[in-house]
Amino acid sequence: MLEDKEQKLHEDVGGSENSVTTETDKVPEKTTEKVEKIEAESTPPPAEKTEALVEIEETNAEDAEDVDNHRRHHIPLLDYHSMSLENLVGELQRLVRNEKIQAIKNHVEGIKSEFDLKFQEFLDEKKEEFVTHGGNEVDFKYNSVAKRQFNEVYAEYREKRNQYYKNLEQSLKTNLEKRLEIIEELKALINVEEDINTTYKNFKDLQERWRHAGSVPRNNYNDVWRTYHHHIEIFYDFLHLNRELRDLDFKHNLEEKEKLVKKAEALLEEKDLNKAFRELQTLHKIWKEDIGPVGKDHREEIWERFSNATKAMHHRRQEHFKELEKSFEGNLVRKNEIIEAITVLAGNVAHNHKGLQKQIKELEALRNDFFNAGKVPQKENEATWTRFKEAVRTFNRSKNTFYKNLKKEQQVNL
């Protein structure tokens, strides 16, 4: 049986499992050779892996690069769409100064996307006013305090992030080397001629070293762990010569995995879906990193229970996202109504100062309503924003034309 497993090791071809490329993906040539060997030896993933499991493995691989990466799950993503330029700058500054730099990537990207859209709209309005009042478009310049502050804080973020990944890269490479060396030592255990109790003690020492070997690059995480577990199982097959030691470990591991299964099943009743999913990710991490194999009689059954709980959680999340999508459709209807109201306003611009000032206030209220109306489906986002900008721009053109003509009349009367 042991020989069969070793033979299968050399027949199977594994690949990097759902790798996510980051600044830390590069590894030294020596390490790369070992990783390629590991991938060729490791048991390949199931031919059809569930979407739920893939999502959890990718997230855990990313979190595994740094113990603080998980912080990104706990920092709320605010409604940046409803924020003013000044508030967006303030939120960016708060994140960069107070949170772990590796945990705020999605937040910063969300803020930057909204800031760029709103600032461009603001700049277009100012340029149009400039041209309407007789200026040449090529001469237009606008100094924005908000833009300058945003650029300064964003540059600070980029500098901190680059420095963080520069420091992290070498650490991850070193840790990967350690883990590959431990795997080689683990493989060698079955060829050592010594007392079985001594071999078992050395095995436990290797497991302890593995637990403290540190984080590895995310694109190596799943392959390295899968290979490690594979050779752990081979060692336990080798240990059949001393059933008592092996069965004690199997019994303990089964008890621990049953606890995880019960916790995973209980999470299906958790009302906070985001919290439940994060806890399920943690359970998968413990299953993979902290608990060894169980006896073959229980291996498939215990995994199936754990996998079924994971699938059920995934189904809950998918249903939740469908409900969110429905609410986004409602937001789209509301935003289209607001755009229509602005379009009507732009088609009936007042021809006197008092009336126009009233309409300017109406437009500002409609703009605020638009930004507070919530998210729309992603596929509709760009088109909705374009229609909104065009409706506002049409009103502003008429407004600027009115005041340009009014200014001319005043000059003539002088």
What are the residue ranges spanned by the domains of the chain?
323-413
State the pLDDT at residue 2.
41
In this structure, are residues 151 and 138 in contact, taking their beta carbons and an 8 Å threshold?
Answer: no
18's torsion region: left (phi>0), alpha (psi -120 to 50) or beta? left
State the pLDDT at residue 137.
80
134's torsion region: left (phi>0), alpha (psi -120 to 50) or beta? left
State the pLDDT at residue 53.
76
State the pLDDT at residue 208.
92
Alpha-carbon distance of 388 to 390, in angstroms, equals: 6
Helices 29-41 and 145-188 sit at what angle, rounded to 10 degrees? 60
Using DSSP, state whether 157 is helix, strand or coil: helix
CA triplet 131, 136, 138: central angle to 5 degrees? Answer: 115
State the pLDDT at residue 27.
41
Alpha-carbon distance of 172 to 215, in angstroms, equals: 6
Q: Would you state the structure tokens that stand for residue 387, as one six-digit string?
A: 């229609």
State the pLDDT at residue 112.
96
Q: How does pLDDT run across 349-394, given as a tens digit for each residue?
A: 999 999 999 999 999 999 999 999 988 998 898 899 999 999 999 9
State the pLDDT at residue 215.
87
Query: What does pTM read for this prediction?
Result: 0.63
Phi first, then psi, for residue 203 (nearest 5°) are -60, -45
Question: Which residues does the chain have with pLDDT short of 70?
Answer: 1-50, 63-73, 240-242, 413-414
State the pLDDT at residue 73.
61
CA 394 to the chain's CA centroid: 39
Q: Would you state the structure tokens that stand for residue 246, as one six-digit string?
A: 């092996």
